[in-house]
């Protein structure tokens, strides 16, 4: 297979992002940069490989970037659309995992519950990659920090303010931020903080990279001096019935020009997308020169290609 794939003793799956240590994340970024600069070097890296892509929820970026990434490396992607029937409904997740393992070389899955992903991985004999769950979105935030490394040279020591819901994206930013040595400043309304155990684990991991994790109530305080300001939707997929109630609670957490004025002069704006303009971010900030949201979206492709190379080779 690909001669440039590193031997890193990686875990066989990417379920949370915590499987990878700081040097494995660094190796991922090195490989992603090479994939981005020299895509032709990898055009046959997945020749003869089949990947199943299970989606219980809608997706634009994740679905397209995985499919383009797989096919551009000579592999084949098979979409299993579970938008209308949860995984495990027609037959057990264990049976799905064991059947798929006889035919394909890897499984990419977007699920409602992290437990579904964990069950898939427990029974599959091929790598399972988290394409978003209720708790984590590792592919997103690895691409985010890769993007920040492109902008700032290194993500180590970069002050990143995440403003909004302490959700899956927030958790994965904490996991990845701790591994790259970023200064993470999270501001959420009361009751919407990130999971305390994930925060604590990230704090432990950050100690090794000189990163820091701080939680705030005030968005202005969190953004003060930040070089990167990040937000996500206030109601995630599956929480649509809470949209109105959350809109009132999260209104002071909107990223607008006034909030951005507290950030560093060279601060960039990030959003995993899809964005709800006028809610968590204004149109003005989304369209400003500070916004690097489409660089993030592009880098999903390069980083996920590197993830596939690392797990499948």
Starting at the earlier edge strand, list the strands of the sheet with 183-187: 212-216, 183-187, 159-163, 228-231, 268-271
**300 an active-site residue?**
yes
Choosing from 61, 63, 105, 110, the catalytic residue is: 110
Separation CA 307–CA 312 (nearest Å): 8
Q: Which residues contact 157 (CB under 8 A, 6 or more apart)?
A: 181, 182, 183, 210
Give the DSSP per-residue string, 228-251.
Answer: EEEE--SS-TT-GGGHHHHHHHHG
Closest CB to ligand NVA among residues 101, 141: 141
Among 65, 141, 147, 168, binds ligand NVA (CB under 6 A): 168
Closest CB to ligand NVA among residues 59, 119: 59
Told to check if 18 binds ligand CP by CB under 6 A, we report no
Choosing from 13, 300, 302, 304, the catalytic residue is: 300
Separation CA 240–CA 246 (nearest Å): 10
Q: Which residues contact 242 (CB under 8 A, 6 or more apart)?
A: 235
Q: What is the DSSP letter of 50?
A: E
Please state the closest distance from residue 221 (CB atom) to ligand CP, in A: 27
Please state the closest distance from residue 140 (CB atom) to ligand NVA, in A: 6
Please state the closest distance from residue 131 (CB atom) to ligand CP, in A: 7
**232 an active-site residue?**
yes
Judge whether 32 and 24 are in contact, CB under 8 Å. Answer: no
Judge whether 71 and 303 are in contact, CB under 8 Å. Answer: no
Closest CB to ligand NVA among residues 110, 185: 110
The contact mask relative to ligand NVA for 256-295 (x = CB under 6 A, - = no) is ----------------x-----------------------
**272 an active-site residue?**
yes
**Residue with tokens 């090479």, as numbered in its chain:** 34
Please state the closest distance from residue 187 (CB atom) to ligand NVA, in A: 16
Among 174, 222, 259, 272, binds ligand CP (CB under 6 A): 272
Please state the closest distance from residue 139 (CB atom) to ligand CP, in A: 8
Among 65, 101, 119, 167, binds ligand NVA (CB under 6 A): 167
**Cα 132 from chain centroid (whole Å):** 7
Separation CA 242–CA 222 (nearest Å): 25
Closest CB to ligand NVA among residues 272, 312: 272
- Beta strand 50-55 with 268-271 is unpaired
**86 an active-site residue?**
no
Told to check if 61 binds ligand CP by CB under 6 A, we report yes
List of residues contacting ligand NVA (CB under 6 A): 132, 167-169, 232-233, 236-237, 272
List of residues contacting ligand CP (CB under 6 A): 59-62, 132, 140, 272-274
Q: Which residues are annotated as catalytic?
A: 110, 137, 140, 232, 272, 300
């Amino acid at each position: 297979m690909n001669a440039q794939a590193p031997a890193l003793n990686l875990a066989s799956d990417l379920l949370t992002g915590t499987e990878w240590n700081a040097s494995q994340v660094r190796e991922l970024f090195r490989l992603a940069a090479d994939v981005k600069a020299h895509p032709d070097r990898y055009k046959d890296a997945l020749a003869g490989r089949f990947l199943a892509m299970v989606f219980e929820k809608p997706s634009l970026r994740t679905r397209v970037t995985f499919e383009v990434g797989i096919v551009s490396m000579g592999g084949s992607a098979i979409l299993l659309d579970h938008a209308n029937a949860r995984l495990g409904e027609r037959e057990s997740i264990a049976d799905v995992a064991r059947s798929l393992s006889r035919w394909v070389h890897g499984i990419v899955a977007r699920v409602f519950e992290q437990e579904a992903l964990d069950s898939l991985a427990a029974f599959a004999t091929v790598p399972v990659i988290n394409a978003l769950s209720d708790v984590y979105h590792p592919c997103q935030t690895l691409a985010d920090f890769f993007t920040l490394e492109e902008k700032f040279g290194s993500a180590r020591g970069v002050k990143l303010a995440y403003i909004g819901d302490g959700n899956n994206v927030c958790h994965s930013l904490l996991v990845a931020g701790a591994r790259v040595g970023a200064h993470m400043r999270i501001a959420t309304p009361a009751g919407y903080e990130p999971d305390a155990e994930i925060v604590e684990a990230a704090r432990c991991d950050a100690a090794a990279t000189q990163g820091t994790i701080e939680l705030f109530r005030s968005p202005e305080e969190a953004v003060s001096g930040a070089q990167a300001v990040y937000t996500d939707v206030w109601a995630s997929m599956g929480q649509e019935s809470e949209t109105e109630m959350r809109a009132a609670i999260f209104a002071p957490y909107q990223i607008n020009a006034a909030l951005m004025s507290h950030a560093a002069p060279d601060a960039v704006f990030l959003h995993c997308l899809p964005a709800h303009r006028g809610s968590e971010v204004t149109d003005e900030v989304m369209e400003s020169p500070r916004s690097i949201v489409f660089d993030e979206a592009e880098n999903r492709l390069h980083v996920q290609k590197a993830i596939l190379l690392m797990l499948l080779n």
